[in-house]
Amino acid sequence: MLSRTADHLFWMARYTERAENTARMLDVNYQTSLLPQSAAVSKVGWQGMLSISELMPAYQAKHGDVEPQRVMQFMVRDESNPSSILSCLRAARENARAVRGSLTTEAWETQNQTWLEVNRMLRTGDFERDPGQFFEWVKFRSHLSRGVTVGTMLMDEALHFMRLGTFLERADNTARLVDVKFHAVQSDFFGAASEKDQEYDFYHWSSILRSVSGFEIYRKVYRDVIKPERVADLLILRADMPRSLHASMNEVVHNLANVANDQSSETQRRAGKLRAELQYGDIEEILANGLHAFLTQFLDRVNDLGARISRDFLVPA
Amino acid sequence: MQKFDEMFAQLPGNGSVQFQAQSMGGMSQSQVQGVRDHYRTYADWLARQPQEMMRARREEAEMIFRRVGITFAVYGAKDEDGSGTERLIPFDLIPRIIPAAEWRRMERGLVQRVTALNRFIHDVYHEQEIVKAGLLPLQQITGNAQFRPEMVGVKVPNEIYSHIAGIDIVRAPSASGPAEYYVLEDNLRVPSGVSYMLEDRKMMMRLFPDLFSAYQVAPVMHYPDLLLETLRASAPSTTDDPTVVVLTPGMYNSAYFEHAFLAQQMGVELVEGQDLFVRDNFVYMRTTRGPRRVDVIYRRVDDDFLDPQAFRPASTLGCAGLLNVYRAGNVALCNAIGTGVADDKSIYPYVPKMIEFYLGEKPILANVPTYMCRNPEELKYVLANMKDLVVKEVHGAGGYGMLVGPAASNDEIEQFRRAVQARPEGYIAQPTLSLSSCPTFVEQGIAPRHIDLRPFVLSGKEVQMVPGGLTRVALKEGSLVVNSSQGGGTKDTWILEV
């Protein structure tokens, strides 16, 4: 297929996934903010939200102090913020429109309908009336977009490049989430002192799980109270947890193999190596060596894979 | 002047239709009188439809068009949300119906006309027999801005130049009284609109399936098949299994939807200039598996932008070196370069003569009488009668650069008069044709609006077309300008099989 077409499909999928993950993060912060908690604690959550996407400087330049309403507006509808939900959905739709002929009618109409609807919801104040429902809607449109592509598209390169985009983006987003949320806990996160802290911890860790639809999965897998190292294990190493780094990298490797060409062997090797490290990784070892360092390195390598995929397939010289 | 309507044998003097501005619901059949035979079933059906139902259908249609993204871009315009440049082309619910016999004659006329025009373009770039025969002044060819000296002597497959032609046809009173079909304009470069023809039909079948069992409407949905067949048949002889692509200027072009639609329907790649490159005198596209040779380019990019080395150097829409590959016969362009020499308004008056000259036949479809301002006698007449005439710039298109005398103010007429006097060869004039009208669903209800028809004629190994074409309708009351860039809409066109 045309390199440019593959490029648009890849980015269409990435932006759709990014919009979903932003909605997930916002939703959890919003739900948490409805619980009784100190302003300081709430602020930590919103700050985390901004630092995940490396948007703190842009936000502060525009709005100054971190204030929940403003962060939500900034992350949902601010067109000058390239990571806002609106910007992501626009980019997804523009990429889809550029190659609408390569999508099935259903896949294109899903993207287009999402775009028309999000504009309506932001125009009519639906979002402000019920942010929770809005975030839920964004997530479901992303589910629909993935389901429609997998359910209607020929299983050829077009689909493989879209899947590649989805899972590379997801690997990136989950890693950022874990990094920020584990970082947010300044104290030693292995065991809280007071009862109050324990309560806080429960909401903190369960909110991370909820943001990746992992709360019920956690209970099912570990049959245990929520413990940080197990949360990390689930989100990083479990191959059967659909939003974990390991599961995402499995899909990246698999889809990369499907589109391999004459010049992509090094990219495949690097992706395979990264996947293997997760496959044979051990959470205690990772934590002992420093989670932040591990995740920073992981993000760099995902970023490198993105650049290589681009050079090998999407924007060849 | 006599006015003709598609649905009614005779329109009341004031131009209103019986069911204008009133509820259609509950109208008795006797109220719908004077209906032409082929519209009778439809008119009775329409009279039975409650107005709310028709309104609901119209909203449904609009919603679907938006969701499907059947839009065209307007340069410099903004959407209602202030974000984009995409507009819907208004779609009218009431079909334009043409009886089988009228279509059969029109079809024969179209085959004849397009065949002659292709022969003419070939002649222009080779022997110029028609000039030698004294039927056309040489100046008309060499002085034409659309004449491409680069094409002289170049062999093109099947000697076909305009593989896809859009011929604009109107129904209007003839000199002797009864209505007749006239060719208003030949579009031989990159005619657009065929996707609307297909989408309008899809929409009508979705909204009103019962009507399609009451009428035997000739199908049109196989157009992309015929197009692909035509494009494949035009491939250079260097390959047995040609790779066809559609070349688009990109997603901000007004007809982008159509480019994407046709590529998808034919199952071929939609490419932009940046996707193509020339190597060893062949054209390739950049794919995820390396370069792949391209044999046929259905290009929706104007001549000027096709090759920055040969034409406009600043163009980023084309492919550098394309012209050389084309001249060497290693890639086919559809349409060919230089077809514009045959479709501008100063050549139009000669088409009937071409048909006689190349085919030895009498023209089946009539031309609109045309005054060429380049001839002093005709110029004098035009200047004296501007308020009764339609004056058109020879190279104008899309409803721009034209004066509709009867609808123009004195100032506008004076402005045009000065322009014509300053450069007479740049203008032609035609009597104001009373284009036929067709009942159309407008805000106030149903009212007659002027229409035209653009059939799409395909020339490959043979000349063929799907029955009908795109009916365009001027939505403004009294307006004769149907172009979508001027606020025109479209209707489904039904050619009856019996």
Contact B288 A98 (CB under 8 A): no
Q: In whole angstroms, give the CA distance from residue A246 to residue A234.
A: 9
Residue B365 has pLDDT above 80, yes or no: yes
Q: What is the pTM of this model?
A: 0.88
* pLDDT at site B21: 34
Mean pLDDT within B314-331: 95
* Of B455, B452, B444, B445, residue with least CA distance to B484: B452
CA distances from residue A75 to A32, A57, A63, A83, A231 in whole angstroms, order as listed: 17, 13, 12, 7, 26
Residue boundaries of the structural domains of chain A: 1-153, 155-317
Tell me which residues of chain A have a pLDDT lower than 50: 186-188, 190-192
Q: What are phi and psi of B82, to 5 degrees?
A: 75, 10
Enumerate the residues of chain B whose CB falls inside 8 A of the CB of residue A119: 81, 83
Contact A1 B288 (CB under 8 A): yes
Place of tokens 């329109």: B11
Residue boundaries of the structural domains of chain B: 369-431
Contact B289 A261 (CB under 8 A): yes
* pLDDT at site B480: 81
* pLDDT at site B481: 80
Instruction: Tell me whether A35 touches chain B (CB under 8 Å).
Output: no
Contact A116 B66 (CB under 8 A): yes
Mean pLDDT within B352-370: 96
Token pair belonging to B374: 């380049």
3-state helix, strand, coil in chain A (%, to 5): 80, 0, 20
Token pair belonging to B116: 């002659």
Q: Is the dihedral of CA A224, A228, A231, A232 positive or negative?
A: negative
Mean pLDDT within B358-374: 95
Instruction: Tell me whether A316 touches chain B (CB under 8 Å).
Output: yes
* pLDDT at site B498: 76
Selected from 3.30.1490.270, 3.40.50.720, 3.30.360.10, 3.30.420.40, the CATH number assigned to the domain covering B369-431 reads: 3.30.1490.270
Instruction: Tell me whether A111 touches chain B (CB under 8 Å).
Output: no
Enumerate the residues of chain A whose CB falls inside 8 A of the CB of residue B288: 1-3, 6, 157, 161, 259, 261, 313-314
| pLDDT bracket for residue B81 (50, 70, 90) | very low
A101-112: b or e for each residue (b if 16 or more CB lie within 10 Å)? bbbbeebbbbbb
**Residue B320 one-letter amino acid:** A
* Chain B, nearest residue to A100 by Cα: B260
Tell me whether 0.90 is exceeded by the ipTM: no
Contact A235, A174 (CB under 8 A): yes
Return all residues near A292 (Cβ < 8 A) that are at least 6 apart. A179, A182, A183
What's the CA angle centered on A100, arms A89 and B305, to 5 degrees?
A: 110
Give residue-wise pLDDT tens across range A64-92: 999 989 999 999 999 999 999 999 999 99
Instruction: Tell me whether A101 touches chain B (CB under 8 Å).
Output: yes
Instruction: Tell me whether A86 touches chain B (CB under 8 Å).
Output: no
Instruction: Tell me whether A11 touches chain B (CB under 8 Å).
Output: no
* pLDDT at site B17: 52
Give residue-wise pLDDT tens across range A219-263: 999 998 899 999 999 999 999 999 999 999 999 999 999 999 999
